[in-house]
Structure 1
Amino acid sequence: MKKKSIFLESIIVVVVGFYGCSLTFPTMTLDEFIDLYFPGYGGKSWQVLGSPGFSAGGTAYTSLYVDNGTPYVAYQDWVNGTKATVMKWNGSSWQPVGSPGFSAGEAAYISLYVDNGTPYVAYQDVANGYKATVMKWNGSSWQPVGSPGFSAGEAAYISLYVDNGTPYVAYQDWVNGTKATVMKWNGSSWQPVGSPGFSAGEAYYISLYVDNGTPYVAYQDWANGYKATVMKWNGSSWQPVGSPGFSAGEAYYISLYVDNGTPYVAYQDVANGYKATVMKWNGSSWQVVGSPGFSAGEAAYISLYVDNGTPYVAYQDVANGNKATVMRFTGTEWTNVGNPGFSAGAANFISLYVDNGTPYVAYQDVANGNKATVMVYK
């Protein structure tokens, strides 16, 4: 890499000198510069972590988390009665965390969070009336956090976040008109954060982020033309961040990330050909990050991560055979991370995590029997 670095640094010097030192380059590391302007030169590529399709059987609702360099994946396990299973990468292979299929019954809308080495999983618990359940790995077994099926009624579009050891769950609340509800574990029981069903109307594609104790929720807002809305808990009530329904048109596959107090939202943008769009709250209004509808074609199963101020988006890329694609915002434009459509076949239930500049993607791998696959860009 030493010779490559010298070579590329020489190119930069020559280019800047040619333009009279008038060029302004996006802020990035040398490795990022190589990836952007000399793809493939730095030797990075998308690689399968372990075996492709490492799960015992088919999967759905894949959810990825990387904790201090260790990837974990939760999913609905078709070989084990469509129950929940969590797998962990041990450095050489994927191993189950506890028993595969540990949930009491079928698990859907699975959401994984790993808090300082402790995995938590939230899901729609079919064995408990389709209500929300959260389970935690205690080092030897999976145990419920509070009562299984703690939500008042059926729950869908479940999203989990653990903030300094405190689990929060957002979901579509069927007892409250399929509106959004957030609940928090207080150490002894689950309690609602504000009023249950706080959204103005029905809420779909719910995504939760808790930023230093402040919960934010993004969702498709049926009271506002199926557009994207973000709500924030101010300590006493839920308030919209900017205008409700701020997207140009209908928004699907919504993914939320809050970076040092700045909310970002990625979604499938119906107003822009069902392509991917990312918007950012600038303190007074929502603004598009780069161009709206920046993906080559339609995008689904969108997953957003902001790494040290750099937004990344993973999605199912219809323009590339429904395979997985990851793009990164350089500060001026969206560029592909490696090759677009890098998965072997169609990728569903895509989940993205960026660990100190290294992107990981988990998904249901159609080319490998709908099993789980994880790929890493390195």
Structure 2
Amino acid sequence: MKKHILTLTFIFISFLGIAQWNFVGVAGISSGWSVGNKLETDTTGHPVVIFYESIQNKASCLRFNGTEWVSVGNPSLDNFPIGSIDNFIIDKNNNYYLLFTNENFQLSCVMYDGKTWKYVGSQIIMSRQSNHATMAIDSKGVVYVGHPINSGFALLKEKDGIWIPYSTINLPTAIAYPSLKFDNNDVAYMGYTGGGLWANCSKLVNGVWKSVGNTDISAKPYAAFNTTLHITKSNEIYIAFDDGGISCYKLNEVTNTWKMMGTSGLGGKHTWLEDLSSDSNSKVYITTSHVTGDKAMCFTFNGTEWMMVGSPISESYASYVNISTNKDGKIFVAYNDFNLSKAVVKEYSLNTSTGSVAQNDQLKLFPNPSNGHFNIELTGEKFTITIHDTKGILIAEYQNIHDTVGLDSKTFRKGIYIVSIRTQNHQHYYRKLIIT
């Protein structure tokens, strides 16, 4: 068997196990393929997920109670004519709000108050003119809904059971990917892709939308897709988008300028931005998927660069990858899993189960530490090895390995890498490595 040279040191993430993405409850929580998946954590810290099941033509809302996933509301969302899911928010009083589009392309909003789902305001808010809509709730509990129109963006708010016009952004063309948020002072901000296909941000001042920072945040000539705005607990404002990879900027409110976080191109080419969020300590997270079928991933910014959180989230292609953190700092993701053809929720946590973490007699890594030669041995099993860098870019993949393999690191740069080992019996092993 041909052996190759790999100069590296393996670091075990924990003495008892390894921190990785583990299923919350059962592996698949929908009856079939899910779309529009949205994830939030409630005030008790439990994950709540909403998705649309295209085969059954219905939306479902499920909450994990610590033991199992249970349907939310009686009656459930089956009673509403949901065609697609636009937005999902849980407010500080633990009320759930769902913005959706019906089969007639009309926007509606419903709320779950702990007992039942009911319409917020009139049953129909407006007829949509584009594929994108957004929703936000201010500190007083007032609900705002907006969507692009032929000449900009229209924002409405619910008052006394009626949706009333609130403000408009007037532009030569309609915008795309609107993302509405309120800061800690109830100032409304919106990130969006403008008519020139570049990312922009505006804030509402005395009823007038004003540009925040430079007019076009994204770099020309790349168009900005999936533009997403996020405001942290400490009132820091971030905007992220796809532009030949993923870019994320933070607003300097003193100078009114945007500063890029790390470098552009997070995840490599053909990577989709799925979600942008933060935890209770204002630590920022991004989830991604890949157009060509690579795995879903999660990244966080360490002050200098973006680092992958654990191993890749999924084992295959994933879509609608949403992220949410609870008050205790636990990280949850929800997505549609291509292999399972079902909605999945995972938590980033320490896994100490012997079913996922190899025993010494199952997996051998030698020599360790290495001075130039590295082997993986799994006696009697075929396995696949994938290696990603901390930006989530696939560096190498080796398939149908049997018993022992040696690898070549000549094309690897110095740094940290994540090695994923998957056996034909569907066991998974993850290791972090450093190439020196």
Q: TM-score, normalised by structure 1?
A: 0.80
Partner of 2:307: 335
Residue in structure 1 matched with residue 95 of structure 2 by the alignment: 118
1:237: which partner in 2?
208
Q: How does 1:182-331 map to 2 (within 5 A)?
A: 182-195=155-168, 198-212=170-184, 213-222=186-195, 225-248=196-219, 249-259=222-232, 260-269=234-243, 274-283=244-253, 284-307=256-279, 308-317=281-290, 321-331=293-303
Cα distance, 1:364–1:179 mapped onto 2, change above 3 Å: farther
5+ long unaligned stretches in structure 1 = 1-36
Deviations 1:88-113 (CA, angstroms, capped at 9, x unpaired): 11111111112454353242143111
Contact 1:227 1:245 in 2 (8 A): yes
RMSD: 2.2
Match of 2:19 in 1: 44
Flag the structure with more relative contact order, 1 or 2, with Cα contacts below 8 A and sequence separation at least 6.
2
Q: Assess if the C-alpha contact under 8 Å between 1:61 and 1:108 holds in 2.
A: yes
1:312 partner SS? strand
**Structure 1 residue 252: Cα displacement:** 0.7
Where does residue 55 of structure 1 map in the other structure?
Answer: 30
Deviation at 1:154, TM superposition (A): 4.3
Q: Could you tell me which residue of structure 1 aligns to residue 381 of structure 2?
A: none
State how far apart, in whole Å, the 1-side matches of 2:49 and 2:55 are. Answer: 16
Count of residues paired in the alignment: 326
Match of 1:31 in 2: none
TM-score, reference length from structure 2: 0.70
Structure with a larger share of its residues in helix = 1
Between the aligned partners of 2:136 and 2:164, the Cα distance in structure 1 is 15
Mapping for residues 64-79 of structure 1, pairs under 5 Å: 64-68=39-43, 69-79=45-55
Which is greater in Rg? 2
Q: Does the alignment pair 1:105 with 2:81? A: yes
* Residue 191 of structure 1, CA deviation: 1.9
Q: Which amino acid aligns with 1:348?
A: S
- Structure 2: which 5+ runs fail to align? 1-9, 350-436
CA contact (8 A) 1:39 1:338 kept: no
More deviation, 326-335/205-214: 205-214
Aligned-residue sequence identity (percent) comes to 26
Match in the other structure for 2:419: none
